[in-house]
Amino acid sequence: MSTRDKPLYLLLVSVHGLIRGKDLELGRDADTGGQILYAVELARALAERDDVAQVDLVTRRVEDPAVSSDYARPEEPLGEKARIVRIDAGPPEYIRKELLWDHLDAFADNLLDFLHNGERLPDLIHSHYADAGYVGARIAHQLGRPLVHTGHSLGRVKRRRLLASGVGRDLIEVRYNMARRINAEEDTLAAARLVIASTSNEIEEQYGLYDHYQPERMEVIPPGTDLDRFRPPDGSETKAPIAQELDRFLRDPERPMILALSRPDERKNIATLVEAYGESEELQKTANLVIVAGNRDDIADLDTGAQTVLTNLLLAIDLYDLYGRVAYPKHHRSDEVPILYRLAAARRGVFINPALTEPFGLTLIEAAASGLPIVATEDGGPQDIVAHCRNGILIDPLDKAAMTKALLQVLCGATRWRTMASRGLKGVKARYSWQAHAERYVESIRPIVEKTVPPLRAVPARRPMLYHDRAIFTDLDQNLLGDPASLADFIRVMREHRQCATFGIATGRRLDSALAVLKRYGIPQPDVLITGLGTEIAYAPQLTLDRAWTRHIDHLWYPARVRQVLSEVPGMALQPKTEQGRFKVSYYIDSNEAPPLEEISRLLHQADLTVNLVIAFGQFLDIVPVRASKGLALRYFAHQWDIPLERILTAGGSGADEDMMRGKTLAVVVANRHHEELSQLADIDSIYFAERPFAAGLLEAIEHYDFFQSCRLPASEKVSDVDAETTAN
C-alpha cells in the first residue's frame, strides 16, 4: 500500500489541564479552557474519517484526590479509532502548567517509550500549546516524523498584555516561566512543518512577533463545533434544571437574555459588561443579563485572579442594584452549555463576548450554531467569524456606550434578529463544523506525510552489550581529567562492573581528538563514544560508526550556508579546523561584541536554516543539525540497545549537556561544575549535585543512586512541586 493510500496514525499532544472524554471541566481553572475541548473534538472528528487509522490524544496522567479519578486512567477510548493516552511526568498531583517545564523531558521520554512499544509509529505529531510544542519537537526529531503545531495562545502576546496591565517583568518571569515558554515556542516554530491557526489575525499579528515567523508554513483552519450538541432551540431547554436555576435569580425570566459565558478571568472583561448594563435603564428594561463564569463552591477557595473577578462582579451588581435582573449561577455542567445557548435563543436574546483579546472565539460559533446572534470584541478571531457568518456586531470592548448600542440594536430589531440568527446557522454549517475542519486538516497534512522519509535504524548482527542493563555516560574534559587519583578509582569501579554496565563518553570533541585524550590519560576505550556534540556515535571494539544515525541527522543540514550567514557577524570567529566536523560548525564568541544568541538564531532562521545552537562557558558556540545533540544521541542509543533511560547515569560539564541530563535519566553535576550554566537543574529530583569534584563526584553519584544495585533515586529526596511551592510561599 502506498503512503498516499495508507490510513494515517496521528498523534495529538496536549500536556496540561484536565482532559477526559465526557463532562469536560471547562472553566475549572486557567489550564482547562477551550484548548481542551479543541483537542478532544479534533481527535474524534479525525477518527471518523476512512483515511485515518488511529488518533491518540496524549496528555499528562494525574493522580490526585482533589480531582476526578478519571484523570488517572492510563487510557480512555474516545471512539472506535481514537483514545486519550495519559503519560506519567513529574509529581502525580495536578499542578498548573507553569510548574511543568522541568518535567517535560521526562514526559517526552515516557511518550517515546509508549510509541516504541506500539505496533506502529505515528505518521505525524500535532502539538497544542508551548509545552506540547517542546515535547512534540523532541519526539519529531527523534522519530524523524513531521511536526504540526497549534499555539492556542502565545507567550510573546501574553507578556505584552501583562506588561501593559502594569505587572512587573520580574513577576511575569517568576509566575509564568515566560522565558522558557517563549524559547519553546521559537524552537517549535522552527521545527514545525505546518502551523495551524484559527484566524488570519493570529498569523499576522501574533505569530508575526516571533523570530521564527514563517507565514508560508502557516494555514488558517478554524476550529469546528459539534452541530449535534449545538443546535437551535426545540422547546425542551425551558424544562432543563439549568433553566430553573437561572429563573430563580430573575423577576421576569421570560424577557430576552444577554448571555455571557467564560471563565472568571480579568481578560474576559465581565466587569465592563456589568457596568454597561448597570448604567443603561433601557438595556435593563429590555433584557436580563446572565453571566456564567465557571464553577465555584466558595469564592475564597479560588485562585487570586478568579476571586478578584467574581468579587468585583458581586460588588457591581450591588452597586447598580441589579438584583432580579442578573443571574450568576454557581455551577453548571458541560452538557448544560448547549442548553444555555438554546435557552437564550428561545428567548430571542443575544450572546456577548466582551473579552479584551480573543484569539478565536469558540463560544461565538457555538452560539451561532444554536441560532443566537452575537456581539463580540473587535480583537482577533471574532473579526473572521462575523465576516464569514454576518451574524453579529463587533465592538470596542472598553467602550461601554458602543456595547450598549450594539446589544440594543440586536435585541430591539425583530427582523435584524431573525436575519442574524439564520445567517449564523448557515455560516457555521459551511465553515465551522468539525467535518469541514477535518477535511481541510487532512488535505493540508497529507502532502507533508507523503514527503517524509522514515529514518533507517541500524540493526547490528550481534549486540556486544547483550547482558548490559545499565549505563554511565560522562563528559570527558570536565568530569574525568582533573584528578588522576579519583580517575583511577573510577576506572577500577567500572572494570569491576563491566558485565552489567555500559561505559560511554559524550563529548564535544571529534572522535580522533577524544581517542587521543583517552589514550593520554590511560582511560580504557568506552563501549560507546558520542562525539561532536552528538553528531557521531561509535561502538566498541572497532569504533564502528552508526551510519543510520548519520543519515538521520543529515536532515536539513547545510553547513556552508551556516558559515556564510555568520561570516560577518561581529564577535564571532571560527575555531580551528581540528574543532570543526561534518556536522558541527564551531565558533569562538565574544559576548561583549557578538549579538545575543536569540539574534544569531534569528539570522540563521531568516536564511531558512533550522539548526541547534549550543553555547558552552559563554565563549564557545557550536552549531549542529536540528536532530543532533548529546541528549538526542543518548536516547537513540538507549532505544537501539534496549537500556531503559532510568537506568542510565549521565554526568555533564556544561550547558551542552543539559538535554542529556534532563528527563528520565539519572544525572550528576560534579562539584567543580557547580556554575551557572547548570544551576537551573538544581531543583530537579533526578539530578544530583555532588560535593566532590571530577571523577570523585561520579563515584559519589554512583553511591547516591545505589547504581550497581537498586539503581534508583532515593525515595527520601522526592519532593513534589506542589510541596515545594507551598514551602516557598
Element (H, E) at 409: helix 400-412
Cβ neighbours, 10 Å, residue 723? 12
Contacts of 413 (CB under 8 A, 6+ apart): none
State the Cα torsion 545-551-557-558 to the nearest 10°: 80
- Classify 8-220 by CATH class: alpha beta
pTM metric for this prediction = 0.80
Please give, one letter per residue, the 3-state secondary structure of 48-66: CCCCEEEEEEEEECCCCCC
Confidence check: pLDDT of 101 > 60? yes
Residues 283, 286, 291, CA angle at the centre, nearest 5°? 70
pLDDT tens string 607-656: 888 899 998 888 999 999 999 999 999 999 999 888 999 999 999 878 88
Coil, strand or helix at 330: coil
Confidence check: pLDDT of 717 > 80? no
Q: What is the mean pLDDT of residues 15-32?
A: 90
Q: What distances in angstroms separate CA 621 from CA 253, 467, 529, 584, 598, one per listed residue? A: 68, 38, 21, 10, 13
Q: How far apart are CA 229 and CA 178, in angstroms?
A: 37
Confidence check: pLDDT of 3 > 70? no
Q: How confident is the model at residue 358 (pLDDT cuts 50, 70, 90)?
A: confident
Asked if residues 547 and 537 have their Cβ atoms less than 8 Å apart, the reply is no
| pLDDT on residue 723 | 46
The fold of the 465-555+627-729 domain, in CATH, is: Rossmann fold (3.40.50)
Work out the percent of the chain whose per-residue pLDDT is above 90: 72
Mean pLDDT of all residues belonging to the chain: 90
Q: Which of 332-336, 526-530, 716-720 has the highest mean pLDDT?
A: 526-530
| pLDDT on residue 224 | 87
557-626 matches 465-555+627-729 in CATH topology = no
Confidence check: pLDDT of 421 > 80? yes
| pLDDT on residue 720 | 44
Asked if residues 51 and 10 have their Cβ atoms less than 8 Å apart, the reply is no
| pLDDT on residue 212 | 84
As its CATH architecture, domain 557-626 has Alpha-Beta Complex (3.90)
Q: How confident is the model at residue 726 (pLDDT cuts 50, 70, 90)?
A: very low
Q: How far apart are CA 324 and CA 340, in angstroms?
A: 18
Q: What is the mean pLDDT of residues 380-396?
A: 92
Element (H, E) at 359: none
Q: Which of 192-206, 396-410, 712-726 has the highest mean pLDDT?
A: 396-410
| pLDDT on residue 459 | 46
Domain boundaries, given as residue ranges, for the chain: 8-220, 236-437, 465-555+627-729, 557-626
Q: What is the mean pLDDT of residues 386-396?
A: 95
Angle between helices 34-47 and 362-369 (to 10 degrees): 60
CATH of 236-437, one of 3.40.50.2000, 3.60.21.10, 3.40.190.10, 3.20.170.30: 3.40.50.2000
Q: How confident is the model at residue 460 (pLDDT cuts 50, 70, 90)?
A: very low
Q: What is the mean pLDDT of residues 531-552?
A: 92
| pLDDT on residue 2 | 53
Which 8-state DSSP code applies to residue 204? I
